[in-house]
Structure 1
Amino acid sequence: MSRIWNTTMDLSALSFFNLVALHGGFGRASRATGQPKATLSRRVRELEESLGVRLIERGSQTLRLTDEGAMLHARTEGLLGEIAEAGNDVAAGMGRVRGRLRVNVPLFFAHSALGRIAAGFARTYPDVQLDVTADDRFVDLAEDGYDVVVRVNPAPDETLVGRCFLRAGIVLVASPSLPRPRQAARGKPAPSVPAVLRVGNDPSSWTVVDGKREMTYRPRGVMWFSTPLLMREAVREGAGVAMLARSIVEDDLASGRLVMWGEAREGQAEAWVLHASRRLVSPKVSAFVNYLCDSYATPQAPVPAVAAGYKRGH
């Protein structure tokens, strides 16, 4: 019969175990925390005895967790951090928004809007230290240590909750110097156009609406970029046409640097602010999510509550 762990766990012993696992050994954990090495070893041994399993392989030059130890560390390290943070929040008063907030956002959003939003947030919450990185790669909140991420059209993820704060149509744009091909006669292949594409995206056709007319083009990839900012620059220089969110090219369309060949018949760009799905949400995370969404909420364009695949944040 398998052994069931008594639910009255020793959080202190569990905390000592996670310190040893985090620092990579008893000696390193002792030097980093000031806890005697003997105390760390004894408390970890007590935890192993209470569980009836070995968590750490002794005798090797470097620390090696057993499979059970690795699983316990992965499942409890974040929880203990939340408990400690909750204690700090209670001690400071739950209404106080404070601490370091790590945020990851796409490049275009960082360059076009985040400076203004971050400055306003800092004025409103002076006890929060914003730590922002900008890139378009996928980041894992837990592994990369972020509190909040902003993403465009993110894939559904049950480990995250979030709010959609901005929706924008997608348009097909080109430089005025690039000739626009005529539509083919009925039954003939759609005209081929040089296309600037997003990495990993190779569509077979684009269908857009220009006024009341529906137009179809066959994109012929000439270059691929990981960020829409580079796509926009290449299109400005006449390298080809591209499907981009209207918000990214609004100024270019107004100034005539780009022209619009049509608006996508289906689909739109959705900007989401996301954080970890957990029952206790840090006041600083809630404050940032609400401030960001409020920055885009107007009587003409209310902030959408949530779309399929994500749960509403707190």
Structure 2
Amino acid sequence: MNLFEAMKVFVKVTETGSLSGAARVLNLSNPSVTRHIADLEQYLGARLLNRSTRRLSLTDTGSAYLERCKQVLADLEQATLAAGMHAANPSGVLRINAPVSFSVNHLGRLLPLYAQRYPNVKLDVTLSDRIVDLVEEGFDLAIRIGKLQNSSLVMRKLAKAHVLTCAAPAYLERHGMPQHPDDLARHTCLTYAYTLPDNEWRLQRDGKVHTVRVGGGLHCNNGDLLMAAALAGMGVIRQPTFIIGDAIRDGRLRPILTDYHGDALAVHAVYPSRQHLSAKVRTFVDFLAQQFGEVPAWDRDLPI
């Protein structure tokens, strides 16, 4: 028995004054209405209605139960309306996990704009370059960059970024400009810990892939630190444009081997489920996709 459905039928019978009247209003058959009332009385172990050939009347128990039913159904309706409004209007805490360098360089400037547009959402952002378990660690969504592992997560592509090889002009003046990927083996290359394998750089031209084993005096798990070291003339880096784009545009870093390209990196939003997606997640993902645009700011005016 569906208790709430039976309660609704009981209230409607008392309002219309008959089983048939309740059946018409609720678009049910007469036997269905009769069964709901009988099941409810059996469940309660008490008679709710006195039946005669002409009319129905409430028992004392039925009269007391009717008032409780009306209150319960009214509370249920209010709860349903509130849940619907909450689902339609972004509110509550939005827990986000995102990569460190990407967030510091690009996500941080967008968060105030989102907060201004949706003031009822509180942003709780954790920066980490490790792959977190969204469900186990309680995140609503994550920003992930690069090739995603197969999983049950829902993913939406937000933008892309290119990976460029570059060095400071001072370094290139001392050590010369590489002309071929193989030349990188003779240069000081600063490597990133989360690139696997971290001592191999893959560049391609005209469909041919060149894999070069590189190494140098710095191996690090943060792209911003690698860029800072490259700016100081320490060596060659290969990093995404969302980190090095500004430094290339203003001449602090000079791209090398521009005829050779790597695969573009996809920037994704991932979240546990598409079903009953909350308004706070939906609006945040839509907002990021709109802000990044077809050609994101970090890729503009670069040799890609």
TM-score by length of 1: 0.59
Q: Are 2:200 and 1:199 equivalent residues in the alignment?
A: no
In the TM superposition, what is the alpha-carbon distance from 1:135 to its structure 2 partner?
2.2
Equivalent in 141, 154, 160 of residue 134 of structure 2: 141
Tell me what 2:275 maps to: 279
Q: What are the equivalent positions in structure 2 for 1:60-99 lying under 5 Å apart?
A: 90-99=83-92
**What is the RMSD computed on CA atoms of the aligned residues?**
3.1
Equivalent in 132, 153, 160 of residue 153 of structure 2: 160
Equivalent in 236, 245, 266 of residue 231 of structure 2: 236
**Whole-Å Cα distance in 2 between the matches of residues 206 and 250 of structure 1?**
20
**Quick one: which amino acid aligns to residue 196 of structure 1?**
L
**Whole-Å Cα distance in 2 between the matches of residues 226 and 279 of structure 1?**
35
SS at match of 2:149: coil
SS at match of 1:280: coil
In the TM superposition, what is the alpha-carbon distance from 1:268 to its structure 2 partner?
1.3
**Whole-Å Cα distance in 2 between the matches of residues 237 and 87 of structure 1?**
60
In the TM superposition, what is the alpha-carbon distance from 1:109 to its structure 2 partner?
2.2
In the TM superposition, what is the alpha-carbon distance from 1:282 to its structure 2 partner?
1.3
8 Å CA contact retained: 1:158, 1:277: no
In the TM superposition, what is the alpha-carbon distance from 1:92 to its structure 2 partner?
3.3
Q: What are the equivalent positions in structure 2 for 1:211-230 lying under 5 Å apart?
A: 218-230=213-225
SS at match of 1:139: coil
8 Å CA contact retained: 1:173, 1:242: yes
TM-score by length of 2: 0.61
Bigger Cα Rg: 2
**Whole-Å Cα distance in 2 between the matches of residues 180 and 218 of structure 1?**
19
**Whole-Å Cα distance in 1 between the matches of residues 184 and 216 of structure 2?**
15
**Whole-Å Cα distance in 1 between the matches of residues 146 and 128 of structure 2?**
15
8 Å CA contact retained: 2:178, 2:256: no
8 Å CA contact retained: 2:166, 2:255: yes
Tell me what 1:12 maps to: none
8 Å CA contact retained: 1:176, 1:257: yes
Going from structure 1 to structure 2, the CA distance change for 1:92 and 1:246 (only over 3 Å counts) comes to: closer
In the TM superposition, what is the alpha-carbon distance from 1:157 to its structure 2 partner?
3.2
Equivalent in 290, 297, 301 of residue 294 of structure 1: 290
8 Å CA contact retained: 2:98, 2:126: yes
Going from structure 1 to structure 2, the CA distance change for 1:182 and 1:151 (only over 3 Å counts) comes to: closer
8 Å CA contact retained: 1:152, 1:271: yes
**Whole-Å Cα distance in 1 between the matches of residues 235 and 156 of structure 2?**
34
Q: Are 2:257 and 1:262 equivalent residues in the alignment?
A: yes
Q: Are 2:118 and 1:125 equivalent residues in the alignment?
A: yes
Structure number with higher helix proportion? 2
**Whole-Å Cα distance in 2 between the matches of residues 273 and 228 of structure 1?**
20
In the TM superposition, what is the alpha-carbon distance from 1:195 to its structure 2 partner?
1.2
SS at match of 1:222: coil
**Whole-Å Cα distance in 1 between the matches of residues 213 and 116 of structure 2?**
49
Tell me what 2:245 maps to: 250
**Whole-Å Cα distance in 2 between the matches of residues 92 and 130 of structure 1?**
20
Could you list the runs of 5+ residues in structure 1 that have no partner in the other structure? 1-7, 9-85, 302-314
Q: What are the equivalent positions in structure 2 for 1:21-60 lying under 5 Å apart?
A: none
Count of aligned positions: 211
**Quick one: which amino acid aligns to residue 281 of structure 1?**
L
Could you list the runs of 5+ residues in structure 2 that have no partner in the other structure? 3-78, 297-304
In the TM superposition, what is the alpha-carbon distance from 1:87 to its structure 2 partner?
6.1
**Quick one: which amino acid aligns to residue 272 of structure 1?**
H
